Structure 1
Amino acid sequence: MSFWFEEAVYIPVDDITIPDNASQLDQELVGKLAESIERVGLLNPIVIGCDRVLLNGRHRLEAYRKLGRHVIAAVAVGSSVEAQRHFEQCRIEEKLFKKYPTQEELDSLASHHRNMLKSA
């Protein structure tokens, strides 16, 4: 298998282009992500094309902007046709198979999180 992604680098948020067909922003999610990033940092870098067009991570990028941060961790997809196809396949599968937690799972996670905060 080829190497699909470059190593993460930090790039200016203003250098990233949002494609015209990007999904609509959920401002509530942006706010929650901003709070999380403020607490624990960015856990997953955004994904960009070699031309710095955003491929994945729009809400994370907007959360960074909301926090007034000027650079963000990003990985670039390789420029070969094979790499682009592989990334698109990954993106589609992520959307198709994303598991949304049940209310019971959310309650359990929230309880666990509260307990972690109390013991910190």
Structure 2
Amino acid sequence: RPEFALRELRIYIMRDPMLRTRFQEARDISSEYSHDRLIKEAKGGDGEIPDEVQRSALVVKTMMWQIEKMSPERYGPRQQVDVTHTYDISKAMERAQLRLEQSRAEKVINGEFREET
């Protein structure tokens, strides 16, 4: 079954760092090639008839999706996270330090030592 073979391939690739690097390089090259084809398809020819224009638009959209999935770090959507909220954890850290000091102090066992004869 093809999906089983693909799963095995992924496991094999993840176990071998050198193979993983080579596989990623191959994907990057494939993405660049697809990107070039995408540009050519998007430019199309002069005098295309409407059906060809729709077909070209579908091909471009599909190729864009494929390239995005193959190389998301290069062609995927960019996400920007802006943190505008701050939280003061100094009191929580003080309480944690106090608990730590108390737990260290409680490890001493008070009692008497009697020697058996």
Higher strand proportion, which one? 1
TM-score (norm 2): 0.24
Computing the radius of gyration from Cα coordinates, the structure with the larger value is 2
TM-score (norm 1): 0.23
> Of the two structures, which has the highest relative contact order with CA contacts closer than 8 Å and spacing of 6 or more?
1
Higher helix proportion, which one? 2
